[in-house]
Structure 1
Amino acid sequence: MKHLIYALLATGAIALPAGAALKDGDNAPAFTAKASLAGKAFDFSLKDALKKGPVVVYFYPSAYTGGCNIQAHAFAVNHEKFAAAGATVVGVSLDSIARLNDFSADPNYCAGKYPVAADADGKIARSYDLAIKQADAGKKDTRGLDIDHGRTERTTFIVTPDGRIAATVGGVSPAANVEKALETVQLLAARARKS
């Protein structure tokens, strides 16, 4: 694992977020949450997803906001590349499941390609040691609707099937966040093929 982390650092595949306390090699907190895929709610379990391979757990501030729209679309466009590397993608935000049902099905964003999970009370974000900011009064989303929930920092964790964090990506643009996550899962897949 150390060799992989050094290789990722050398290639610039990891950018650490300012406030994330969880580090590469730490155990990723397991969670279950109400999630939405293509507008349909279901119960997502990280433990179950890890049985299929690595999981990209990406935290984002809010559905239907500028950077989050870009990031969601980039994950959707690259979904097949993540799948080819054996990785599952799940987005996590403090949005309600109702907002996520719309966002997950929206062809301009998640496009029904991967699930987004509701962390309305921030419990999952806090378990990953991410900062939560309170809602800004009067803030609207790109549809003109009120954003009435807090938000967390944009940070992505790549979790290996053994439940450990292989890489943390943060402090970069939404599109670069997706690119770096994809580079990481492709390196993990290449390493697995060599073993």
Structure 2
Amino acid sequence: MTEKHTLEVGDAAPAFDMEASGGRKVALADFKGKPFVLYFYPKADTPGCTKEACGFNEALKDFDKAGLTVIGVSRDPVKKLDAFAAKYDLTFPLASDESGSVTEAYGVWVEKTNYGRQYMGIERTTFLIGADGKIAHIWPKVEVPGHVEAVLETARALAGSV
């Protein structure tokens, strides 16, 4: 059984400050006045996470046109994220939340069940954060096929308000 997300549309996005791929850092404060996409994925270089990351990467020009930065977040160490980014030519920041503080703040660190085994893990979730620092849209329990397109479509529809 998974927990319910504690965050809702209209809530202030929880602060974060994380090391990211390519020697970068990403922090909520860096996006003041700018909308962005923050997506959480379970583990770098696994099939679903690779499809999702490559999908966002292929659509980066469209996100740029919509005025949005894309940031991926997992609990993988930066070294693993650098290897993942290099392997698939991912150019957007992949942030490392090794401590788990950001995944917990966003309510995506949940109890999961796989083949009867229960464990804690990241629930694939995407947040669209508006220029005002508030959550404009949440996609919980993401199914990868069609997801990037749905995020882009919503971002464009909300362009006037995000």
Task: Judge which range, 22-31 or 171-180, deviates more.
Answer: 171-180
Aligned-partner Cα distance in 2 for 1:102–1:131: 24
Partner of 2:96: 118
> How far apart in 2 are the matches of 1:33 and 1:161?
20
Report % sequence identity: 37
Mark the CA change 1:172 to 1:45 in structure 2 (over 3 Å): closer, same or farther: closer
Q: Secondary structure at the match of 2:20?
A: strand
Q: Helix, strand or coil: the match of 2:92?
A: coil
**Are 2:137 and 1:156 equivalent residues in the alignment?**
no
Task: Report the AA paired with residue 93 of structure 2.
Answer: P
Higher strand share: 2
- The 2-side partners of 1:86 and 1:18 are apart by 32
Alpha-carbon distance in 2 for matches of 1:172, 1:42: 26
Query: Given the two structures, how large is their TM-score scaled by the length of structure 1?
Result: 0.73
Q: Which residue of 1 aligns with 2:29?
A: 47
CA distance in structure 1 between the partners assigned to 2:32 and 2:46 by the alignment? 29
Greater CA radius of gyration, 1 or 2? 1
For the 8 Å contact 1:156–1:177, the answer to whether it is kept is no
- TM-score, scaled relative to structure 2: 0.86
Number of matched pairs: 154
Deviation at 1:170, TM superposition (A): 2.1
Residue 62 of structure 2: aligned partner: 81
- SS of the counterpart of 1:47? helix
Runs of 4+ in 1 over 4 A off after TM superposition: none
The Cα offsets for residues 82-124 of structure 1, whole Å up to 9 and x where unpaired, read as 01000000000010011001112223xxx23210100012100
Q: Does residue 172 in structure 1 map to residue 142 in structure 2?
A: yes
Structure 1: 5+ residue runs without aligned partners?
Answer: 1-16, 137-149
Mapped to 1, the partners of 2:102 and 2:61 lie a distance apart of 26
Aligned to 2:117: none
Secondary structure of 2:131's match?
coil
Which residue in the other structure is 1:185 paired with?
Answer: 155
CA change 1:75–1:166 in 2 (3 A) is: same
